[in-house]
Amino acid sequence: MADTVSDHENHGTEPVTDQVHGSAWAADLERPEHAANRELLVEEAITAVENTVEGSLVQLVTHEAHGHPSAYLYESLEETFGDAVHWEYVCQCNCGGHIVRVEV
């Protein structure tokens, strides 16, 4: 999807990734700053997908504080990527968060 790391604003926090991923990986969106800021979580989820090489996948592990990702993440993925990516809900983690697998 991307050749360089996205330059989305990171709100003064460490970015979810600072590299392009050429194989399957998981984006940790369960940190306290993600619990406190849904906009940051969505922004970094998009960054994670942008920094995943075509033909690979990223698992977006979201914070439980925002509930099921269909309520806030799917629409942003659709608006940003359209048919260029495919996502599916995987499960709810034991910690209460959720996993969404995105194939690029």
Please name the residue ranges forming H helices in the chain: 32-36, 38-50, 74-81
Query: Digits of tens for pLDDT over the chain (104 positions)?
Result: 554 444 445 455 566 776 788 889 999 999 999 999 999 999 999 999 999 999 999 999 999 999 999 999 999 999 999 999 999 999 998 889 999 999 99
Task: Name the pTM for this structure.
Answer: 0.84
Q: Is 98 exposed, middle or buried (0-12, 13-18, 19+ CB in 10 A)?
A: buried
The domains found in the chain, sorted by start residue, are 25-103 (3.30.1370.50)
